[in-house]
Every structure is written in C-alpha cells, then in structure tokens.
Amino acid sequence: MDREQEEMQFLGPFGICREAYKIIISWRKIFTKITLALILPLSFILLAHIKFSELLTSRIIHNQAMLGEAQIGTQRYNKLSPLISSEHTTYWLFQLGYIISLFIFSFLSTSAVVYTIACIYTGREVTFKKVMSVVPKVWKRLVLTFLSTVLAFFAYSLVFTIITILCAFLWAHTAGTASVSISLHTTVVIFFIILIIYGLGALYMIIIWQLASAVSVLEDSYGFKALVKSKNLIKGKMWVALIIFLMLNFSSFVIYTPFQKFVVHGESQSLLYKVGFGMLFLSLQSMLCLFGLIVQTVIYFVCKSYHHENINKSVLSDHLEVYHGEYAPLKKTDVPLGQFQV
C-alpha cells in the first residue's frame, strides 16, 4: 500500500480492493507459495465438502427409500438397516473432520497472510520459510479469538431465543384476552422479521470477528479484547466492511453455483470434464480466499486511519521478531504509520 495514513481513511470498498490487488501483484512470489501451501488445501476442503456431502446424502436418502419399501424382518431389511446406520456415522464423522480441517487451515492461512503483510509494511525481509516458522505461534491467538466469538455468538443466540419466546407468549396472551384473531400470514411475517433481525446481528458479529483476526495478529489483543477492539475500530466503516463482505460472498456464490452444476451434479459428464472444471474452480476459490484475507488486513489499516490510531513501523517490526522461536505481539503504541513499501 503506497498511501499515507490520512489518505487511507477515505478508501471505500473498491479502493480497498484495489489496494489488495496491488499488494498481491507486487509480492506475488511469496503469496503464491502461501497459497500453494495453505490456501489451496483450504479451498480444496471447501469444494470437496460440497461434493462428498452430496454423495453421502444421496446414498443415505436412496437406502432409506429402499428400506421403506422393504418389509420388517426380511433379509433385505436386515441388511439395509445397519448399512444406513453406518452411513449416518460416516456422514457425521466426515462433517466433524471437515470442520476441524477447515478451521485449522483457515487459522493458518490468516496468520500467514496477516503476518506477511505486516512484514511488508515494516520493510522487513520476508521469506516463505520464515512465515511458516512463525505461523504456528501466531495462529494460537486466532484460535482464542475464534473461541471467544463462539461464546459471544452462543450468548447472543440464547438471549435472542429467550426474548423471542417471551414475546411469543406475550403476543399469544394479549391476542387471547383481547379476542384478536391472528392470521397465519401475520404470524409468518412476524417470524420472518425476527429472523431478519437475528440475521443482521449475526452478520455484524461475523464482520467483527473477521476484523478481530487481524487485530489478534497485529496487536497485543486477542480473545474478547480483540473483539472489543474490533467493535470500536469498525465504527464509521461498518458499511464499507459490509459491502466488501457481501461482494466476497457473492463471488463465492458465483464459484459454487457452476461447481455444483458441472462437477457435483454433472453425472452425464466424463471424468476428464469434471476434473478440468474442478481444477478451474479450485484455482478461482484459492485466489478469492487469498484476496479476501488481504482485504481483511487492509480494512484493519483503513479503520486505524479513520480513528487516527497510528502504528509505528519500528515498534511493529520489533514485535514481529522471532526470538528463540517465540512470537512477540505488537504493543499498543500510537505514532505515525507511514507507508507500505510496495
């Protein structure tokens, strides 16, 4: 990023995306290695999950349909019943493995990208070997921040559920005593309004968590402290972050939709055809993941600029030192940020 601190606060969604693109082009060698080592496996996990989930689900539905046609006690029934139980077990074990693998590579990829950009910003020499040696230490902070987000989301969902139930009881009691006839249409509309409110709150928490991931790496804050810091930083730039979030998710939708059509549901297509399209969508998904992680970091610097919270390059450089294999986080210091040397 070749902009002054004061200029960065004026960047909008497209300006942030343009800065992220410049960083990728200027440092494509190191980001290519990070992509091949971490982001490509992450993207493969995302796409493979769609394919194999569909395959396992189809088998379970097919066998359940056959079981429904079979008579209890017959040889066919006795064969299908344990088979379906085994398939259900396989399905849930697969989902568990997917979630664990997804978060591991997601945390590692985020650590690598954010740390690399910090090194670029401070003018430090950054090599792939150095990044990979630091990442296992950095990602632990991201795990703590993620767990804090899960707890916060659970509390939010619990409180929202309790409030919704209380409102439902109050509504039913009021309607009953007042002899008011509540139509099904009105009930459905109210239910969707409640879902929209809950969804907006969930979306807000996701954006806070994404920014908190950069905070966890670049500052001496992680866990709930990083979430609070992220919440304060996003003020004034929430619409920018929301627009970028929607843009990235729409891009994912553009990738997933044809992937499901040509690879997941393309039964009539040849294996070579599916492999070719699979590699294409895998490449696109990898590039999108890398771009999203860099955008996430750029948003952090934009928010810091907007709130006039500056970072000293020398202080950041000192805390990026790997001393006896330990990662030293950034301390809170407000001094001029300077420029990215790209």
Q: Is the pTM of this model over 0.85?
A: no
For residues 84 and 112, the model is more confident at 112
Average pLDDT over residues 244-263: 88
The answer to whether 57 touches 91, Cβ cutoff 8 Å, is yes
**What is the per-residue pLDDT for 291?**
94
Q: What is the dihedral of CA 133, 138, 143, 149, to 10 degrees?
A: -150
Place of tokens 């055809």: 273
As given in the structure block, the two tokens for residue 340 are 């990215």
Q: Each residue of 90-135: pLDDT tens digit? A: 889 988 999 999 988 998 999 889 888 888 877 777 788 888 888 8
Q: Which amino acid is at 28?
A: R
**For a pLDDT cut of 70, what percent of the chain falls above it?**
80
The answer to whether 134 touches 322, Cβ cutoff 8 Å, is yes
Average pLDDT over residues 72-101: 82
Q: Label residues 91-108 b or e (16+ Cβ within 10 Å = b).
A: beeeeeebeebeebbbbb
**What is the per-residue pLDDT for 172?**
65
Asked if the model's pLDDT at residue 141 lies above 80, the reply is yes
Q: What confidence category does residue 332 fall into, taking pLDDT thresholds of 50, 70 and 90? A: very low
As given in the structure block, the two tokens for residue 67 are 């079981």
Q: Lowest mean pLDDT of 3-7, 259-263, 333-337, name the range.
A: 333-337
**What is the per-residue pLDDT for 323?**
29
Q: Label residues 143-175 b or e (16+ Cβ within 10 Å = b).
A: bbbbebbeeeeeeeeeeeeeeeeeeeeeeeeee
Distances from the Cα of 242 to the Cαs of 207, 215, 249, in angstroms? 7, 18, 11
For residues 277 and 312, the model is more confident at 277
The set of residues, in sequence order, having a beta carbon less than 8 Å from that of 61 and lying 6+ positions away, is none
- Work out the angle at residue 179's Cα, subtended by the Cα atoms of residues 177 and 184, and round it to the nearest 5 degrees: 115
